[in-house]
Amino acid sequence: MNMGTPSFAHGAFVGIGGYASGLGAIKLGLPFWLTAPLAAVVAVMIAVVLGVITLRLRGTYFIIITLSFSEIIRVVLNSTGENIWGGAKGLLNIPPPSVNLFGRAIQFSQNNLAPYYYLIFVILIITLIVMYRTDHSRIGINIRALRFSPNLAQSIGVHLMKWRVIAFAIGCIFAAIAGAFYAHYYVMVDANAFFGVSYIIPVIAWVIVGGRESIVGTLLGAAILTILPQYIKPLREYDQMAFGIILVLFGLLLPQGLASLPVRLSPWWASLRRKEQS
């Protein structure tokens, strides 16, 4: 959910989801279908506590605090718990998902990637449906009201902190589920992969390029910026710089992202049609 200020903690919640799901599978012997919801529950509990502390801040202060949170979690996971979550080595030997569908066992492995594609597709569809329904519900209306005019929203009874924490927690739930999928796909999870600017900057770039106000736009931005680097592999070492340049250009030239192009181009298109008719 878009609260108006980007959070640098969502990368941390991807990692938290991966560790929670991996530990649930290794230590408790639970299947992926139970460890993924477990990861979401853990993420919600941490998100609520973090949200109550940080969401009173706005702008640069909120960004710094969420980035600091990610770095603290990374250091703790790397320097402690070697016998629990693997310490600096990471959490290894996480079992892949398994499912028995209509009496047929479906094997998930790196030699059989098709089940993973179907699984992530189902997760994506569920995420889009939930986000769309949430955005068009009372939750989405209240969050948009607080983003555009918090004083006016509060004057008509919208509780500022309550809805900001709810929006933050919803985003963290799906980040944790994505982390759970990652952990069971790669059968390991490493704190250094998620906790930091190098992970979250591309994610923010997806949102800015696609459009913060549009679910479809965000999906479009993610697709373009994920596929495009595959065709410019000689420049992969400059990808962080490229993402920075993209953020600056879109911030200056197209601040509402690609989703705003139809609205921006409609006057030009209407003018062109009138000229053709005349």
User: In this predicted model, what pLDDT tens digit does every residue of 160-195 receive, in sequence order?
Assistant: 788 888 888 988 999 999 999 999 999 998 888 776
- Residue 182: the pLDDT is 92
188 vs 89: CA distance, rounded Å: 10
Which pLDDT value is given to residue 227?
Answer: 78
Residue 104 DSSP one-character state: E
Judgement on whether residues 4 and 142 belong to the same structural domain of the protein = yes
Q: What pLDDT, on a 0 to 100 scale, did the predictor assign at position 34?
A: 93
Residue listed under structure tokens 């996971």: 77
Summary mean pLDDT of the chain: 81
Mean pLDDT of 215-225: 81
- pLDDT-based confidence at residue 37 (cuts at 50, 70, 90): very high
Instruction: Outline where the chain has alpha helix (H).
Output: 10-27, 32-54, 59-79, 114-135, 138-148, 150-155, 160-186, 197-210, 215-227, 239-253, 261-277
User: In the chain, how many domains are there?
Assistant: 2
CA 72/CA 70 separation, integer angstroms: 6
pLDDT value for 236: 63
Task: Tell me the mean pLDDT in the region 263-275.
Answer: 70
- 70 & 183 share domain: yes
Q: Are residues 84 and 2 in the same domain?
A: yes
Final residue of a structural domain among 179, 195, 211: 195
Write down the pLDDT at residue 185.
92
From 195, 254, 264, 270, select the one nearest 221 (Cα to Cα): 254
Do 138 and 177 belong to one domain? yes
Half-sphere exposure at residue 204, Cβ-oriented, CA atoms within 13 angstroms: 25
Residue 103 banded pLDDT, cuts 50, 70, 90: low
* pLDDT tens figures, 117-158: 999 999 999 998 988 888 888 888 887 777 777 777 777 777
Residue 78: pLDDT band (50, 70, 90) is confident
Single residue among 180, 195, 210 that ends a domain in this structure? 195
Give the position of tokens 């009874």.
157
Q: Do residues 181 and 204 both lie within one domain?
A: no
CB 239: neighbour CB atoms within 10 A? 16
Examine the domain organization and report whether 35 and 104 are in the same domain.
yes
10 Å Cβ neighbour count for 195? 29
Query: Which H/E stretch holds residue 188?
Result: strand 188-189
115 and 200 assigned to the same domain = no
2 pLDDT higher than 60: no
Say yes or no: 106 and 163 in one domain. Answer: yes
Residues 128/219, Cβ–Cβ less than 8 Å: yes
pLDDT value at 38 more than 90: yes
pLDDT (0 to 100) of residue 3? 57
Domain boundary among 150, 175, 195: 195
- pLDDT for 79 equals 86
Instruction: Answer for the pair 225, 205: CB distance below 8 angstroms, yes or no.
Output: yes
pLDDT of 1 over the 60 cut = no
Are 220 and 133 contained in the same domain?
no
Residues 188 and 201 both lie in one domain: no
**β-strand partners of 101:** 104
Between 76-80, 124-128, 258-262, 271-275, the lowest mean confidence (pLDDT) is in: 271-275
Based on the fold, state whether residues 159 and 200 are members of the same structural domain: no
Residues 182 and 201 in one domain: no
> Measured between alpha carbons, how far is 232 from 254 in angstroms, rounded to an integer?
23
Adjacent-strand bridge partners of 98: 107
Residue type, 65: I
Q: Supply the range of the domain harboring residue 13.
A: 1-195
